[in-house]
Structures are given as structure tokens and as C-alpha cells.
Amino acid sequence: MNLSKTATLEFEETGQLQLVIKHKYSSKRIDKYLVSRLQDYSRSSIQKLIKEGAVKVNNNAVKNNYEIKLNDAISIQLPEKSDDHITPEDIPLDVIYEDEYLMVLNKSPDMVVHPACGHASGTLVNALAFHCNTLSALNGPLRPGIVHRLDRDTSGAILVVKDEKVHKHLALQFEERTVKKEYLAVVKGESELDSDKIDLPIGKDKRDRKKMAIRHDIGKNAVSIFEVIERFPGYTLVRVILETGRTHQIRVHMKTIGHPVIADSEYGNSDACCIEDLTKPVSNKDIHSLAKLTELCNNTSDPIIERQALHAYKIGFTHPVYNKAMEFTAEIPKDMHNLIATLRKIKALLN
């Protein structure tokens, strides 16, 4: 769905954001809608703003479960922009590897990598400031230690740098495309191909500057290679290897070939996935085979996953100090694990 057509949006000098809903939704909670529109804010921070009364609809405070309606006027009082100071926060980190020069983490879903647009807390950088005595400052005061990034709702392996000389070497590896980046994704549709190379340029979407799109005119070279790991009724688990690292690359490429990532609010048709969604591709003659489906979940309409089913599974690079090839894998988080497990149960019931 093209979000630029779903609402008009204006910023005021007071730091207030104004939106008017121009699309009729069958059912859309305001917290989920704002998460899809404000990419620099985590779901928890949006819900906090709503709870504090900083979000109003038609001049009235609402709750997180308020369902937006056509022509609703939404006003959001955004937090004041922070200065360059990073406040250390005792946020748990899932450390895969660490030495005196760098560390590899398994980033959790719904965690913004660095402060932006007034989002000054709860980020990976806030956690790093608490846990690390030193971090590379090459990317500026708001991005200490950050040499690359992951989207807020993409989980998985992320590399953090403590030393500036090491940072320069690793940045060069990213630039020369020698860093190995491998992702796992659950996508809609059963891929007919076992593997394929997607070579399509990516640039800013003409109609929505927050999104990316295939742009043959101004787009930058973007190459993804996907391999099928497992097929399910109506869905596919794929491994995606990136040869380039464009913003939203996997999400844009997979959508373009007709296999959008599950629960991708920007490039798919929904921001969550439940058992009811997973059984829609099943033919009527197979419905009786799913009689035991209620055993999989207490409520088939409860979301299994509420963010894009995309996980940075593996990262490989050459350690600048030890001159040693290193490769690390990040464990799949619970929500995506449950999604895959549920698809396997449905597949087994139909066999």
C-alpha cells in the first residue's frame, strides 16, 4: 500500500506532527499505524506517547487500541530534539562475540539502532553507551560504534566497533563488499525457483520519500541472491545473500518479484500475521485436514509476528587486527521461530 496516499502529513515548528487519514481501513489500530508511518520510533515509544496523551485524534486523547477512521485528524506532540549527548541505559544486549576492538550482537526486533528525529532513548546506541567503555566516534556523536545498521524491525547480527582504526578498516570492507551478509526471510507465495539473482537498482520512491523502490532512472546498483530453504502452503522460507547493502534492499527486491516479506507494513499488505492468515492459501478440500489447528494456538486471530519476518542470520568479515576471517550466526528470535514452526505444523497436517 502506498502510504503517501493514506494520509496528508505536516510538521509544525512546535514539534507537532499533523496527519489526516485519507484511506478507509477495515481494522487498523492507531499504534500500529503510527509505527508504520514513523520509522525512527519504536513500537514501545509510540505506545508511550499515546499513553501520555501526546497523541490526539480529533482533539481527543485515545488509547493504543483505537481504530483509525477515514478523515481522522491525528496530532502528535513529538519529544524535543535531543542534543548530541547519549544517555547510557541499562538495556540487555545479546552478545555473540566481543573483544577489545569490536563486538557482534544479536539485535532484538523493535530496537532502533541510533537516536533520530527526537528518539533519544531505548536505542542500541544507548545500550552500548552503558555496556562499553569506549566506542568508535567516526560516525558522529549520535552513532558511536555504528559501522552499519539494521532496520528497526529487522532482527539479527550487527557489528559494533570500539576502535577508530578498526572502524576505518571495517568500513572499507563494507565499501568493497567483502563483508558477508546473509538473511533469513519468510515471504508470501511459494517460489517456483529454487534460487535466483535479483539485479535491480533501488532509489527513493517517487510518491513516498520514506520508502524505497525500483528506480531505473536514478537508482543505485542493488544485487540480492535468494535460495529456497523450505516451502509451505502459500509461503516460502528463503535465505538471502546481499552483494550490495541498499536501504530496504531485501524488502523491495522480494516485493518486486512477487514475494513480499510477511508482516512488512511498508512493502506488504499488513503489519502482523496470525494463523488465519497462514491458512488462507489452503484450498477448501484441505480445510478438514486442519481440524487440529486450534491446538496450535488458543486464538487463531492472535498475531504470531508483528513485524517483518526478516532476520540478519549471518555476518562474516576479516578482523582488522587479527587478520583472521570471522563468521558469526545470530539465533532466530522467538516470534520468527514460532512463525516457521507454525507453518511446519500446517504443512504436516496437510500431508
Interval 113-131: pLDDT, tens? 877 655 667 899 999 999 9
The per-residue pLDDT for 333 is 97
Annotated domain spans of the chain:
3-77, 81-176, 182-310+341-350
Query: In the annotation, is 205 catalytic?
Result: no
The answer, yes or no, to whether residue 142 has pLDDT greater than 80, is: no
Burial 300-329 (b: 16+ CB within 10 A, else e): beebbbbbbbbbbbbbbbeebeeeeeeebb
Q: Which CATH class is domain 3-77?
A: alpha beta
**Is 42 in contact with 122 (CB distance < 8 Å)?**
yes
| DSSP codes, 35-61 | HHH-TTS-HHHHHHHHHTT-EEETTEE
**Range picked from 50-64, 202-216, 233-247 for highest mean pLDDT:** 233-247
The answer, yes or no, to whether residue 8 has pLDDT greater than 50, is: no
The per-residue pLDDT for 349 is 83
Phi, psi of 344, deg, nearest 5: -70, -35
- Give the integer Cα–Cα distance in Å for 241 and 145: 24
Question: Does residue 95 sit in helix, strand or coil?
Answer: strand
30-37 and 43-51 are packed helices; what angle lies between their axes, rounded to 10 degrees?
A: 130
The per-residue pLDDT for 124 is 94
- Give the integer Cα–Cα distance in Å for 288 and 245: 45
- Give the integer Cα–Cα distance in Å for 196 and 275: 29
Q: What does CATH list as the number for 182-310+341-350?
A: 3.30.2350.10
Residue type, 186: V
The answer, yes or no, to whether residue 40 has pLDDT greater than 70, is: no
The answer, yes or no, to whether residue 183 has pLDDT greater than 90, is: yes
> pLDDT-derived band of residue 25, with 50, 70 and 90 as boundaries?
confident
- Give the integer Cα–Cα distance in Å for 252 and 260: 8
- Give the integer Cα–Cα distance in Å for 221 and 215: 10
> pLDDT-derived band of residue 83, with 50, 70 and 90 as boundaries?
low
- Per-residue model confidence as pLDDT tens digits over 267-276: 987 889 988 8
From the DSSP assignment, how many helices (H) and strands (E) are in the chain? 7, 18
Cell of 204: 527513493
| DSSP codes, 256-298 | HTT-PBTT-TTTSS-S-EEHHHHHTTS-GGGGGGGGGGGGT-S
The answer, yes or no, to whether residue 55 has pLDDT greater than 70, is: yes
Question: Does residue 333 sit in helix, strand or coil?
Answer: coil
- List the catalytic residue out of 151, 153, 205, 335: 151
227 has which bridge partners? 195, 239
Asked if the domains 81-176 and 182-310+341-350 are classified in one and the same CATH topology, the answer is yes
The answer, yes or no, to whether residue 238 has pLDDT greater than 60, is: yes
- Give the integer Cα–Cα distance in Å for 282 and 189: 12
The per-residue pLDDT for 291 is 58
Give the length of the chain: 351
Question: Does residue 254 sit in helix, strand or coil?
Answer: helix
Helical spans, DSSP H, in the chain: 30-37, 43-51, 124-131, 164-175, 249-256, 275-279, 334-350
DSSP state of 334: H
Cell of 131: 555496556
8 has which bridge partners? 20
- Give the integer Cα–Cα distance in Å for 251 and 263: 11
- Give the integer Cα–Cα distance in Å for 339 and 28: 22
Q: If you average pLDDT over every residue of the chain, what do you get? A: 86
Q: How large is the average pLDDT for residues 24-48?
A: 79
The per-residue pLDDT for 13 is 38
Q: How large is the average pLDDT for residues 307-311?
A: 97
Give the CA angle between residues 103, 106, 108 to the nearest 5°. Answer: 135
**Is 57 in contact with 73 (CB distance < 8 Å)?**
yes
The domain made up of 81-176 has a fold known as Pseudouridine synthase (3.30.2350)
What is the chain's percent helix, strand, coil content, to nearest 5? 25, 30, 50
Cell of 4: 503517501
The answer, yes or no, to whether residue 201 has pLDDT greater than 50, is: yes
